[in-house]
Structure 1
Amino acid sequence: MRVTQGTFCYLPDLTDEQIRKQLQYAINNGWALSVEYTDDPHPRNSYWEMWGLPLFDVKDPATVMFEVQECRKQYPNYYIKVLAFNSTKGIESTALSFIVNRPVHEPGFVLKRIESNDRVQRYTVHSYATEKPEGSRY
């Protein structure tokens, strides 16, 4: 099972050089960059832990790559992603988001069916990772 979230999620993992080029693209567009990490990549878990502070007005992708490398050292078996925030009036939203690190083993998810009243079928997604306590999932 491979978690597919963000841009480039169906492609092979990006190399550091490819990541650097995407960071340069975001910088050229004037977007603020940040690094986030989690051990629970549930699709509805949109609030990952932020690594440090957002990087505003960065001119060199090496600054962001340094933060990515430091986060990888601290959390080698976590999901790590880079976000680029477009603060243009009227947009004010994430313009680019992609995973830059993932655990070697991704446990995946199970789709659970729940019987409800009047034969209604409801579905929910359960992450296998959450069966272990936070911090020891990978």
Structure 2
Amino acid sequence: MRITQGCFSFLPDLTDEEITVQVEYCLRMGWAVGVEWTHDPHPRNTFWEMWGNPMFDLKDAKGVLMELAECRKAEPEAYIRLNAFDSTRGFETVTMSFIVNRPKVEPVIRMTRQEVDGRSIRYTHEVVR
């Protein structure tokens, strides 16, 4: 199973050159870029671990790629994503987010649908190892 979260998740994994192009676009737009990682890609797990702080005022994509390389080295079997933040309105809003690293074997998440009282539907998720 392939976890699909964020931009580009239905495409083949991005190469470092393609990641660089996306980071350069983010920087041209004036967005700060942050690196996050997790071993739990459950759809409701929106709070991943931050790898350092978002990189505000960065002008060169190499800085982001250096942080990404360090995160990949420390957490090679983790999901790693880049988030771009737009702070032009005075608060940080995630404008773009995409996965840049995946474990060799991805977990299977099974969703079960159950009809309950009245016309309500309950969904449960289970990670199958």
Q: TM-score, normalised by structure 1?
A: 0.86
- Runs (5+) with no aligned partner, structure 2: none
Report the RMSD for the aligned CA atoms in angstroms: 1.7
Aligned pairs for 1:52-91 within 5 A: 52-89=52-89
Q: How do 1:34-45 residues align onto structure 2 when only pairs under 5 Å count? A: 34-45=34-45
Pairing 1:1-138 to 2, within 5 Å after superposition: 1-89=1-89, 92-114=92-114, 116-118=116-118, 120-128=120-128
Once the two structures are overlaid, the 10-residue window that deviates more, 113-122 or 69-78, is 113-122
Distance in 2 (CA, whole Å) between partners of 1:83 and 1:90 is: 17
Give the secondary structure class of the aligned counterpart of 1:85: strand
Report Cα offsets for 1:65-121 as digits up to 9, x if no partner: 000000000000000000000112188411110000000100220112345335854
CA distance, structure 2, for counterparts of residue 58 and residue 116 of structure 1: 51
Contact 1:40/1:127, CA 8 A, preserved across alignment:
no
Aligned length: 129
- Separation in 2, partners of 1:94, 1:48: 13
> Do the aligned partners of 1:79 and 1:102 also contact (CA within 8 Å) in 2?
yes
Q: Deviations over 1:18-44 (max 9, x none)?
A: 000100000000001100000001111
- Write the letter of the residue equivalent to 1:4: T
Maintained 8 Å contact 1:85/1:95: yes
Distance 1:42 1:26, change over 3 A: same
Q: Which residue of 2 aligns with 1:133?
A: none
TM-score (norm 2): 0.92
